[in-house]
Chains A and B, each alone.
Chain A
Amino acid sequence: MNNSAVKMVNISKSFGTVQANKNVSLEFKRGEILALLGENGSGKTTLMNMLSGIYYQDSGEVFVDGEEVVISSPKDAFDLGIGMIHQHFKLVDVLTAAENIILGLKGSITINRKKLAAEIREISEKYGFALDPNKKVYDMSVSEKQKIEIVKVLYRGADMLILDEPTAVLTPQESDVLFEMLRKMKESGKAVVIITHKLQEVISISDRVAILRKGELVSEMDTSDATIKSLTEAMVGRKVDLAIKREEPHFGEEKLIVTNLTCLNVEGHKALNDVSFSLRAGEILGIAGIAGSGQKELCESITGLYPIENGSIIYRENDIQSELRGLTPAEIIKKGISLAFVPEDRLGMGLVAGLDMVDNMMLKSYNLEKGMLVNRKRPKRVAEMLIKALDIVTPGVSTPVRRLSGGNVQKVLLGREINSEPSVLVVAYPVRGLDINSSYTIYNLLNEQRKKGVAVMYIGEDLDVLIELCDRIMVLCDGVVSGIVDATKATKEQLGFFMTSD
């Protein structure tokens, strides 16, 4: 049997002046898991989107089973047996798993639900997992939703599966289950492609690695020949130091004391339930948990953006205590409380995407100046200083921040918050979507703040990083604190257990 499933030859694609892919030739084989690796903006997703019919290449050919094909729509991709599982799920919440799976397929007017359920069970059993066909999507966890997406693709008869960062939203345990599924698919002769940032995963799951850099395929190797170090260097294009520099802690006073904090979500359920902890100067407190366990509400209630149902948040500065509960962000700024917040949604909350760096620098301080008019001199100086200090790549201070790459956007945001010389710094998922190099820049910036005696709260998802970077880790599970552990003694398994403890 010829084991070449899909072959891409000399594929190029550009968006405007940006060359997303340049002469990429890559082969995908049956019975193999290929990891596609690369920094942000290296063109991994674009390349796969061309296979799944979302984009069409500017030049180059695609062969399926040796024959040249044209994939100009997602339907074409399905017809050729290529299925992609996107990072953001495309499911209808109010429908059941089974309904979502057949959505968009041709068929008779009525649905034979029994037969459908049996088919779905058959597929899920074949690959060793369980999926209830009659469960509604809104009742499902993230990993269950991902399973629907996978079954959806398999049900349509895909021979090749492309998964775009599938583990970004999973706990370690859930990732293991996913990997087991992928191995079974490989054994049954399917071609599997996994796009990822996490090098450990590449090593543990894949058979072959292809590395993209700036749109070009720079390296292709068998995973058995690869190490984390060699992969990173191929990705970045030069030698990098992958250690988080951790120094001996010098803890100071308790800056933030949260007691019995309870918040409700829109539906009236408890998004945070009786949360109590304290945050010391000179410490990084990590917050771990599955996405949606109350992290957002925690950050936003501390910073005055989320209504608090019960409990208190005390901020301490030289033995003077102030209650933050009930204060608006404007009142917090006015009181002179130096609380900095890097929200999860950088361009939608932390920054104004359409405005330039200067205007973004003064977002929280424009009102501190006297008079009716804004003074752009000071923010301009700050912007210029940050560009130099943090190596921000931008055409200039007057370019809208929307035009910057993800890593640079984060440097602008974190830079502004650090520049306000906070005594408490709350950062939510600061390295999400950033490549490995930018991520380490961010970790080092946070460590510098810790050294300066800032109390840092770090909401993270990568457990390895949390363990390496933080002093203590608090785990949230469904809005409840399920454990606070010493990071120097914590293990991933222990954290994973707390994350799903109920």
Chain B
Amino acid sequence: MENENIKSELLKNHPDYKEHQEPWIRMVKVDNVRRGIPLLVRVSALLGAMLTGAIIILAMGSNPVLVYTAMITESLGSPSVLRETIRIAIPLLITGLGIALAFKMRFWNIGAEGQIIAGGVAASYFALFWNGYLPYPMLLIVMFIAAVVAGGIWGMIPAIFKSKWNTNETLFTLMLNYIALEGLRYLQYGPWRDPRAFGFPIISPFPAEARLPTLFGVHIGWIIALLLVVLVHIYMKKSKQGYEISVVGESVQTARYAGINVNLVYLRTMFISGAIAGITGYVTVAGANGTISEEFTGGVGFTAITVAWLAKLNPVAMIVISCFLAILDKGSGPLVNSFGIPSSVAGIITGLFLFFMLGSEFFLNYRLVFRKKEEIKN
């Protein structure tokens, strides 16, 4: 203590001492980003993530080059793994589209998870109990409609409460996730439990009539996803309703001034947002899984938030981002077996890529200014 005081006194008497210094580092907002800079920043982020990941891989006793090569070959190297990767990308893409509509309106829908479950459960109901009453394609169509309506209603509930009582949609949508999940668990452990499953609490597989057909080896969910990209793009950019979403998102006051019925826009958009998440539930149960279980969403409802943000709510960019995340996911899976890297570390490496990608956005908007050297000397 005593020493510290003497030290600071000495410092003050030093001729170079300056009581108030210019801040060591400052942020400066960048107005006009030069062409090519965004690409440069993103590539550097990717390299930075790979380098940091390499340190962790080295610490685990593996060769980073081999690990990264394996990640690529395991996700893109052969038609069969490629199909697998696409299967992972489909729900991310569809859900991201739904979330983007809500986010464009600044309605923080983090309830896609619950909306996916609602859609999946509704589709499953028809798959499990209506087979034989409906001819082949009809069953799939009814399942689709059921998923859309159920997901839409699940999405619309928080909007109803927001428009009537101005509730916080972030908490509301989050809580509805748990309600949907517990509802599904109830069905799985109770009324929908498969009696022929040797006591395991599972729901029986769907009949073939309730399975989505495949094209090029992947269920046609990928066609639905691409179709939705086009539709959502047109809806956001060209339709009156899409225009209303942008206005409400920017300023509710302006929307009222323009004669837009803000509550109606909340309800309608959240119905569509939830309905699209419901479609994710549909393609997952009818396409990828062929049944429903409490884990069937795989956290897609949350990961898709990252997809929507990284793509800056642009539907076309979401194709790229969802594929990128799918590559990371698929590629990091086999690391456990081939390299003996714990799955938690594989998760850390995936997380690093996301961290660097999201963090790099900062450098597109801001530039850092360091204190100049000669000022320190002065």
Cβ–Cβ contact B254 & A373, under 8 A:
no
The yes or no answer to A102 lying at the interface (CB within 8 A) is no
Cβ–Cβ contact B260 & A330, under 8 A:
yes
Cβ–Cβ contact B239 & A373, under 8 A:
yes
The yes or no answer to A359 lying at the interface (CB within 8 A) is yes
Inter-chain contacts of A331 with B (CB < 8 A): 259
Cβ–Cβ contact A329 & B253, under 8 A:
no
Inter-chain contacts of A76 with B (CB < 8 A): 20
Known: A69-B20, A70-B22, A349-B254. A17 touches B247 (CB 8 A): no
Q: Which of A329, A348, A353, A366 contacts B243 (CB 8 A)?
A: A366
Inter-chain contacts of B259 with A (CB < 8 A): 328-333, 364, 367
Cβ–Cβ contact A355 & B32, under 8 A:
no
The yes or no answer to B251 lying at the interface (CB within 8 A) is yes
- A412 vs chain B, min Cβ distance (A): 13
**Beta-carbon contacts of A301-336 to B below 8 Å, as 1s and 0s?**
001010000000000000000000000111111000
Inter-chain contacts of B256 with A (CB < 8 A): 305, 329
Inter-chain contacts of B240 with A (CB < 8 A): 366-367, 369, 372-374
How far is B258's CA from A352's CA once the two chains are assembled, in angstroms?
10
The yes or no answer to A354 lying at the interface (CB within 8 A) is yes
The yes or no answer to A407 lying at the interface (CB within 8 A) is no
**Beta-carbon contacts of B153-185 to A below 8 Å, as 1s and 0s?**
000000000000000000000000000000000
Q: Which of A305, A328, A350, A353 contacts B250 (CB 8 A)?
A: A353
The yes or no answer to B312 lying at the interface (CB within 8 A) is no
Scan residues 329-365 of chain A and give those whose CB is less than 8 A from a CB of chain B: 329-333, 341, 343, 345, 347-355, 359, 362-364
Known: A330-B261, A373-B239. A363 touches B29 (CB 8 A): no
Cβ–Cβ contact B258 & A363, under 8 A:
yes
Cβ–Cβ contact B258 & A329, under 8 A:
yes
For A69, A329, A331, A352, the residue with the greatest tally of chain B CB atoms inside 10 Å of its CB is: A352
Inter-chain contacts of A354 with B (CB < 8 A): 246, 250
Q: Which of B26, B31, B261 contacts A16 (CB 8 A)?
A: B31
The count of chain B contact residues (Cβ–Cβ below 8 Å) is: 29
How far is B257's CA from A333's CA once the two chains are assembled, in angstroms?
11
Q: Which of A17, A73, A329, A353 contacts B257 (CB 8 A)?
A: A329
Cβ–Cβ contact A355 & B250, under 8 A:
yes
How far is B31's CA from A354's CA once the two chains are assembled, in angstroms?
14
The yes or no answer to B135 lying at the interface (CB within 8 A) is no
How far is B257's CA from A17's CA once the two chains are assembled, in angstroms?
34
The yes or no answer to B43 lying at the interface (CB within 8 A) is no
Scan residues 6-54 of chain B and give those whose CB is less than 8 A from a CB of chain A: 18-23, 26, 28-32
Known: A328-B259, A348-B254, A349-B253. A363 touches B247 (CB 8 A): yes
The yes or no answer to A18 lying at the interface (CB within 8 A) is yes
The yes or no answer to A439 lying at the interface (CB within 8 A) is no
Inter-chain contacts of A374 with B (CB < 8 A): 238-240, 243
- A266 vs chain B, min Cβ distance (A): 14
How far is B256's CA from A153's CA once the two chains are assembled, in angstroms?
41
How far is B253's CA from A328's CA once the two chains are assembled, in angstroms?
13
Inter-chain contacts of B73 with A (CB < 8 A): none
The yes or no answer to B241 lying at the interface (CB within 8 A) is yes
How far is B256's CA from A349's CA once the two chains are assembled, in angstroms?
8
Q: Which of A56, A364, A367 contacts B22 (CB 8 A)?
A: A56
By beta carbon, the residue of chain B nearest A354 is B250
Inter-chain contacts of A355 with B (CB < 8 A): 246-247, 250
- A291 vs chain B, min Cβ distance (A): 18
The yes or no answer to A72 lying at the interface (CB within 8 A) is yes
- A177 vs chain B, min Cβ distance (A): 35
**Beta-carbon contacts of A24-66 to B below 8 Å, as 1s and 0s?**
0000000000000000000000000000000010000000000
How far is B243's CA from A444's CA once the two chains are assembled, in angstroms?
33
By beta carbon, the residue of chain A nearest B366 is A16
By beta carbon, the residue of chain B nearest A329 is B259
Scan residues 239-281 of chain B and give those whose CB is less than 8 A from a CB of chain A: 239-241, 243, 246-247, 250-251, 253-254, 256-261
Inter-chain contacts of B23 with A (CB < 8 A): 56, 72
The yes or no answer to A178 lying at the interface (CB within 8 A) is no
For B28, B243, B253, the residue with the greatest tally of chain A CB atoms inside 10 Å of its CB is: B243
By beta carbon, the residue of chain B nearest A400 is B250
Cβ–Cβ contact B241 & A350, under 8 A:
no
Cβ–Cβ contact A72 & B22, under 8 A:
yes
Inter-chain contacts of B254 with A (CB < 8 A): 348-352, 363
By beta carbon, the residue of chain B nearest A75 is B20
Scan residues 207-249 of chain B and give those whose CB is less than 8 A from a CB of chain A: 238-241, 243, 246-247
By beta carbon, the residue of chain A nearest B246 is A355
How far is B32's CA from A350's CA once the two chains are assembled, in angstroms?
26
- B378 vs chain A, min Cβ distance (A): 9
Cβ–Cβ contact A348 & B29, under 8 A:
no
How far is B258's CA from A366's CA once the two chains are assembled, in angstroms?
10
Cβ–Cβ contact B29 & A372, under 8 A:
no
Known: A72-B22, A350-B254. A359 touches B243 (CB 8 A): yes
Inter-chain contacts of B21 with A (CB < 8 A): 70, 72
Q: Which of B30, B32, B251, B258 contacts A353 (CB 8 A)?
A: B251
Cβ–Cβ contact A348 & B253, under 8 A:
yes
Inter-chain contacts of A345 with B (CB < 8 A): 253
Q: Which of B28, B32, B257 contacts A343 (CB 8 A)?
A: B257
Cβ–Cβ contact A341 & B250, under 8 A:
no
By beta carbon, the residue of chain B nearest A57 is B22
How far is B29's CA from A329's CA once the two chains are assembled, in angstroms?
38
How far is B261's CA from A331's CA once the two chains are assembled, in angstroms?
11
The yes or no answer to A71 lying at the interface (CB within 8 A) is yes
Inter-chain contacts of B238 with A (CB < 8 A): 373-374
- A286 vs chain B, min Cβ distance (A): 23
Q: Which of A303, A330, A372 contacts B241 (CB 8 A)?
A: A372
Cβ–Cβ contact B257 & A70, under 8 A:
no
For B26, B241, B251, B256, the residue with the greatest tally of chain A CB atoms inside 10 Å of its CB is: B251
By beta carbon, the residue of chain B nearest A372 is B239
Inter-chain contacts of A70 with B (CB < 8 A): 18-22
Scan residues 321-360 of chain B and give those whose CB is less than 8 A from a CB of chain A: none
By beta carbon, the residue of chain A nearest B18 is A70
Inter-chain contacts of A56 with B (CB < 8 A): 22-23, 26
- B30 vs chain A, min Cβ distance (A): 6
- B348 vs chain A, min Cβ distance (A): 36
How far is B32's CA from A18's CA once the two chains are assembled, in angstroms?
11
Cβ–Cβ contact A349 & B251, under 8 A:
yes
By beta carbon, the residue of chain B nearest A17 is B31
Cβ–Cβ contact B250 & A16, under 8 A:
no
Q: Which of B29, B32, B246, B261 contacts A352 (CB 8 A)?
A: B246
By beta carbon, the residue of chain B nearest A347 is B251
Cβ–Cβ contact A352 & B20, under 8 A:
no
How far is B257's CA from A70's CA once the two chains are assembled, in angstroms?
47
For A71, A353, A354, A373, the residue with the greatest tally of chain B CB atoms inside 10 Å of its CB is: A373
How far is B251's CA from A343's CA once the two chains are assembled, in angstroms?
14
How far is B128's CA from A391's CA once the two chains are assembled, in angstroms?
67
By beta carbon, the residue of chain A nearest B31 is A16
Cβ–Cβ contact A72 & B20, under 8 A:
yes
How far is B370's CA from A56's CA once the two chains are assembled, in angstroms?
13
Inter-chain contacts of A303 with B (CB < 8 A): 257
Known: A69-B20, A359-B243. A350 touches B257 (CB 8 A): yes
Mark A residues whose CB is within 8 Å of B: 15-18, 56, 69-73, 76, 303, 305, 328-333, 341, 343, 345, 347-355, 359, 362-364, 366-367, 369, 372-374
Ranked 4 nearest A-B pairs via Cβ = A330-B259, A16-B31, A329-B259, A70-B20
Question: Could you pull out 22 A-B pairs where Cβ atoms are within 8 angstroms?
Answer: A15-B31, A16-B29, A16-B31, A18-B31, A56-B22, A56-B26, A70-B18, A70-B21, A71-B20, A328-B259, A330-B261, A332-B259, A348-B251, A349-B253, A352-B250, A352-B254, A353-B250, A354-B246, A359-B243, A364-B259, A374-B240, A374-B243
Given contacts A18-B31, A72-B23, A350-B257, 14 further A-B pairs with CB under 8 A are: A15-B28, A16-B29, A16-B32, A17-B31, A56-B26, A70-B22, A305-B257, A328-B259, A330-B259, A332-B259, A367-B240, A367-B259, A374-B238, A374-B239
